[in-house]
């Protein structure tokens, strides 16, 4: 299913037909500059077509809250999913991150990557 994997200084980005999956490195501060790179990849790869984004949270890292605001403004980014087995990460995503998006149904948290992919395919 994955058509390409990009190695970036802050982690890996896997590209599917209409989904970006980011797996960030341990200890990274994911800031607005890093997020702008991901949004630019989305524009280049999907050519202004709707797409989804999955944050595959296998590692521990910090996120600048401005990231959520910038992502919410991207008109082609239609669905965002967080995948984690860590209950604290899932709780934080549901209670904090979700509030940054105008459409609360465009954001979801999952236990597995397959669940997230299926949900995004349904949303787009």
Tens digits of pLDDT across the chain (124 residues): 668 999 999 999 999 999 999 999 999 999 999 999 999 999 999 998 999 999 999 998 988 888 888 888 899 999 999 999 999 889 888 887 877 777 878 999 999 999 999 999 999 8
The dihedrals phi and psi of 47, each to the nearest 5 degrees, come to 50, 55
Query: How many residues are given for the chain?
Result: 124
pTM for the whole structure = 0.91
Question: For strand 29-30 and strand 62-63, is the pairing parallel, antiparallel, or unpaired?
Answer: parallel
Among 7, 75, 63, 54, which Cα is nearest to 33's? 63
User: Is 122:112 a contact under the CB 8 Å cutoff?
Assistant: no
């Amino acid at each position: 299913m994955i058509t390409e994997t990009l190695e970036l200084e802050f982690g890996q980005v896997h590209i599917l037909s209409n989904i970006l999956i980011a797996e960030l490195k341990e200890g990274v501060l994911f800031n607005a500059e890093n997020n702008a790179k991901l949004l630019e990849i989305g524009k280049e790869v999907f050519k202004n077509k709707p797409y989804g984004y999955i944050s595959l949270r296998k590692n521990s890292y910090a996120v600048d809250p401005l990231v959520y605001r910038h992502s919410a403004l991207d008109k082609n980014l239609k669905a965002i999913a967080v995948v984690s087995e860590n209950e604290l990460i899932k709780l934080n995503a549901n209670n904090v991150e979700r509030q940054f998006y105008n459409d609360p149904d465009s954001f979801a948290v999952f236990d597995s990557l397959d669940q997230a992919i299926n949900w995004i395919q349904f949303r787009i």
